[in-house]
Structure formats: structure tokens, C-alpha cells
Chain A
Amino acid sequence: MFISVDEIAQTIRMIQEEHLDIRTVTMGINLLDCVRADIKDTCDAVYEKICRKAERLVPECEAIEREMGIPIVNKRISITPAALLVGRSTPEQCVELAKTLEKAAVNTGVNFLGGYSALVHKGYTEADKALIASIPQALMETSRICCSVNVGTTKAGINMDAVRDMGVLIKKAAEMSAETGGSSCARIVVFANAPEDNPFMAGAFHGVGEPECVINVGVSGPGVVKCAIEKVKGEDFTVLAETIKKTAFKITRMGQLVAKEASQRLGAQFGIVDLSLAPTPAVGDSVARIIEEMGVERCGAPGTTAALALLNDAVKKGGVMASSHVGGLSGAFIPVSEDEGMIEAVKTGALCLEKLEAMTCVCSVGLDMIVVPGDVTAATVSGIIADEVAIGMVNNKTTAVRIIPAPGLKEGDVVEFGGLLGSGPVMPVNPYKSDAFIARGGRIPAPIHSLRN
């Protein structure tokens, strides 16, 4: 037999016992041609186009799942940043667009639709302002729409007005969804250097440099990596890195195959495979546990950042040869509420916000799914965002903040979000204020190394 029994058994074991799956097949759809003079007409055109382009997305992905025997956990859509579609609309009219997008998501059967977004790293347009102002209400009226705002880039610096406003907005969204622990905030991402081809939610959008319709795929497999390195206990770092690389190669080949098949069957361009290790709250599917398997007693202990740096780099090196086009976020994710090992690390006091911030310097994507006490001020939220965005800007990488100031909750409480979003222990925040810093406004200039021409 051309393929050996061992190889077949290994693939099957990875899928059945080690949680190997395709985390998401995300169809990116350009909606710029849907812009009309009247927002109502725009909504109609948007609805029609999404439903037409993504009509077969879910059934075709399900067919691939059956034929290949590999689960595709999420089927999703990303769209042109909505701020580019709304023209001179009011925030109320923008909410109508969000409701239309929700309807299209339901109709096509996808669980999330991303791209209710604005790119404001250098400043606001009137449309950006209206769309961003509409975000809290839009999230209340929908359950599948994801929002993102890019507030900084290495090229442009940081729009600190937007950073200030996002702090206020996140607090407002949390208060409006207080009944569910501020869960609206789980669908708001604040970015630096946001990628245009990211398949992962909540930050996916279809950038303006993207083609008409594209398939981007995100693979997963923290469980597979952990099982692989269990076999090299005590070996040195060269062996460890090599083991991760080989595993990442195999995982990514799955993503490449699914991306190729899906794009062919759906008549869309093959975009990228995102080489990220994306955890879920399920036991055996955790990035934190990989770090612990490397020899750090609890994720967050000294050595964690170095372990994560090695992991992140080895995953990319192994993955890059396995796929013809790599992109998106491509790095290990460390969302607290979505990773069983991270949750435990926070609960046991091993992992704090500051250590997480350090970890984001060496991996994607940033401070992700962090629950903080409800009495944290908007300026403090903005301060946390500013720090994270600065890391992205200076290091020429994507960083993001998805933070939930859970109304009425304090350190030690836990918010249950359910599903892939998991459950978030409330983390303590430095009690000192950053109000005067955030109140300055304006822009932090781009770093010197942005001048590369």
C-alpha cells in the first residue's frame, strides 16, 4: 500500500483522539459593489450578494468533512469593512445593516460573520464614526455579527482618539449586555496591523486588497502538538522544535487540502492558510498545556514567554512549507476564556494580565478574551488597548485586544459565555489610573523603523 498502515493510523488518531480539526473555513466576500445611494438599497444588495456567494459554503464544507473524515468546526463569512459601505448613514441606519448581515448569516447557515469593521489607524471618516457609534446597539440586535476596529499600524502610528473612544465603547457594550456578563464584548476586537485575510473570528474582515471572493482556512491542533511533544520528554530544545515543526507540517497539510478543495468547489480563489494553533475550552485542546508539557509547571510561570516563542516559531517553520499561501494571523492564540489550561492558570494565580501582555510580544494575537472587573474605568480599558497596540506597532506584527469588563463582577468571579467562547475568570487590573494619558488624544507617531523605503 502506498500509504503505510502506521500513517493511516496516525492521521485517524490525530483526528479522533487529539482533536485535530479544521477550525474554520471562512469565505471572504467583496461588498464594495453593493454600495447604493440609499442605505436600504445597500442592505438589499448586501443581503442578495452574501446569500448568492455563500449559498453553498456550508453544504460543500460538510461534504468535504464527510469525504475526508476531518471535522470543519466553523463555516464563516468575512466581508468588506462595513464602514466602507454605509456612506453618510446615521448610527441607527448602520444598525439596520448589521441586522441585514445577521439575516444573511442565518440564511447561509454560518455561525459568525465578521467585518462590521472600521479601519481608523490614521483617523476617522464620517462613516467610520457612524459605524463605530452603532457597534454596541448592533451587537445587541444580532448574535452572529463580529466587529473589529483597527486603531494602529506600524506605518501610521496609533490613533489615540480611537483608543480612547474604544475604551468608552467597550464599557458601553458591556453594560448593555450586562445580563450575559458583558458578552457583547466577545465580538469586539481592537487591532493593530489588522490582517486583511484573517479567517478567525472575531477579527475577520475582507480587506480592500482582496479579490472578489476568497476562501481562507484556519487550522488547529494544540492537542496534536501536545501529544507529539509528550514523546520527547527531557530532550533538548532542538529536538523539541523539530518535533513541533514536523507536527505543524502535517496539521497544515490538512488545511491546505481543505482550502484547495473548498475553493475549487465554491468557485472562489484560494486565499491563505492561517498557521495558528487555536485552542478550544475542551480538555486536550489547549495551548497552555503545550507550554506546560515543555516543562513550565503552570502557564504564566517564568519560562512561559520563551516556551511560547519557540512554539510559535516552530509552528510557522513547519507550516510554511506545507501550504502554498500562508497568511492571516499565523501564530499561536492565547485567549484566556477559550483555553482550558489558561483558565486554570488564571484561577490558580499563575497567570496575570502583565504576563499575558509579555506573551503577546512573541505570538499572535494579543490580549484575547480577557475578563476584567466591571468597575474598571473606560480610561483603564483604553490604557490596556494602547499598550497592546504599541507592542504591535513597534514589533511590526498584529496585536489585538478583546476585553470584557464584566458589569458587577469582581476578581475571582467567573463569566460563562458558552460554546467556543468558554468561560472567563475575572482577572485583576493594576489599580493606578491612566486617565490623563488617555485624555491627551491625537496620534502617537509611527516608529522610526516604519520608514523603510
Chain B
Amino acid sequence: MTKAIITVLGSDRMGIIAKVSAYLAENNINILDISQTIMDNVFTMITMVDISASTSSFDVIHNDLQKLGQELGVKIQIQNTEIFNSMHKI
């Protein structure tokens, strides 16, 4: 399983989660966990996904999500889970 964390940060508006999860579904990316909150007035959505079944490469997903972020006026980032694991787990 190749896990990644998708973070969406920006100003809140309707349909952000819908648009992001629609993209993930279309690309065979399974959502393992999802959380959404407003931190310091910033819309924050954090999703753990499994990208191993996706036919698109990491770079393609990365670029697609960035484009989608531009359309929605938010910042979308996808990062390998490893970076968070190594920083916070021993």
C-alpha cells in the first residue's frame, strides 16, 4: 500500500470536499481517513489516501491536484506519508 496525505488549505466554500473526493474516485485513489476543520479561519482538510491502485503516477496526481486547487482557490498538496511518520513517530 502506498499511502499519501492530501492537505487542502484555503478559504471555505461549498463543494471543496466533493470536488476533491470526486477526483480521487475517478483516479482509483482510495480514501482511508478524512478530517475537516476550520483552523484559524482557514479551511483545512486532511485526507489519508492509498494511491497504489491508481493508474496515474504520483507526479500526475500531484499536478492534477495543484490544478484542481487553483480552480477551487485553495492550496492542495499531496505528500508521501513517510515524511510525517519520520518526523513524528519513532
On A, residues with C-beta under 8 Å from B are 1-5, 7-12, 63, 66-70, 250, 253-254, 256-257, 261
Contact = CB atoms under 8 A, between A and B. Distances in A.
Nearest to B82: A257
Given A66-B62, A69-B79, A1 B33 contact: yes
Given A1-B33, A9-B39, A256 B83 contact: no
The 3 closest A-B pairs by CB, nearest first: A69-B79, A257-B86, A7-B88
A77 B55 CA distance: 35
Contacts of B48: 1-3
Nearest to A70: B83
Nearest to A14: B87
Nearest to B83: A68
Contact of B79 (A4, A67, A250): A67
B5 A8 contact: yes
Nearest to A251: B87
A331 B89 CA distance: 24
A5 B35 contact: yes
A253 B86 contact: yes
Contacts of A68: 79-80, 82-83
Given A1-B48, A67-B58, A257-B82, A11 B39 contact: no
Which of B7, B44, B79, B81 has its CB near the most chain A CB atoms (within 10 A)?
B79
Contacts of A12: 7, 9, 77
B41 interface: no
Interface of B: 5, 7, 9, 33, 35, 37, 39, 44, 46, 48, 58-59, 62, 77-89
A1 B88 contact: no
Contact of B86 (A4, A8, A63, A254): A254
Contacts of A70: 83
B87 A253 contact: yes
Contacts of A257: 82-83, 86
Contacts of B35: 1, 5
Most chain B Cβ neighbours within 10 Å, of A3, A68, A254: A3
Given A3-B5, A5-B37, A254 B80 contact: no
A18 B81 CA distance: 20
A250 B62 contact: no
Contacts of B83: 11, 68-70, 254, 257
Contacts of B84: 3, 7-8, 11
Contacts of A253: 86-87
A273 B60 CA distance: 31
Nearest to A321: B90
A254 B79 contact: no
A3 B80 contact: no
A8 B7 contact: yes
Given A66-B59, A67-B62, A253-B86, 10 more contacts: A1-B48, A3-B5, A12-B7, A12-B77, A63-B59, A66-B58, A67-B80, A69-B77, A69-B79, A250-B88
Contacts of B58: 66-67
Contacts of A261: 82
B4 to A, nearest CB: 8
Contacts of A66: 58-59, 62
Contacts of B77: 12, 69
B85 to A, nearest CB: 7
Q: Which of A10, A12, A63, A257 has the most CB of B within 10 A?
A: A12
Given A1-B33, A1-B35, A66-B59, A7 B87 contact: yes
A10 to B, nearest CB: 8
Contact of A11 (B59, B62, B78, B88): B88
Nearest to B80: A67
B38 to A, nearest CB: 12
17 contacts: A5-B37, A7-B88, A8-B84, A9-B44, A9-B46, A11-B84, A12-B7, A66-B58, A66-B59, A67-B62, A68-B79, A68-B83, A250-B87, A253-B86, A253-B87, A254-B86, A261-B82
B63 to A, nearest CB: 9
A359 to B, nearest CB: 30
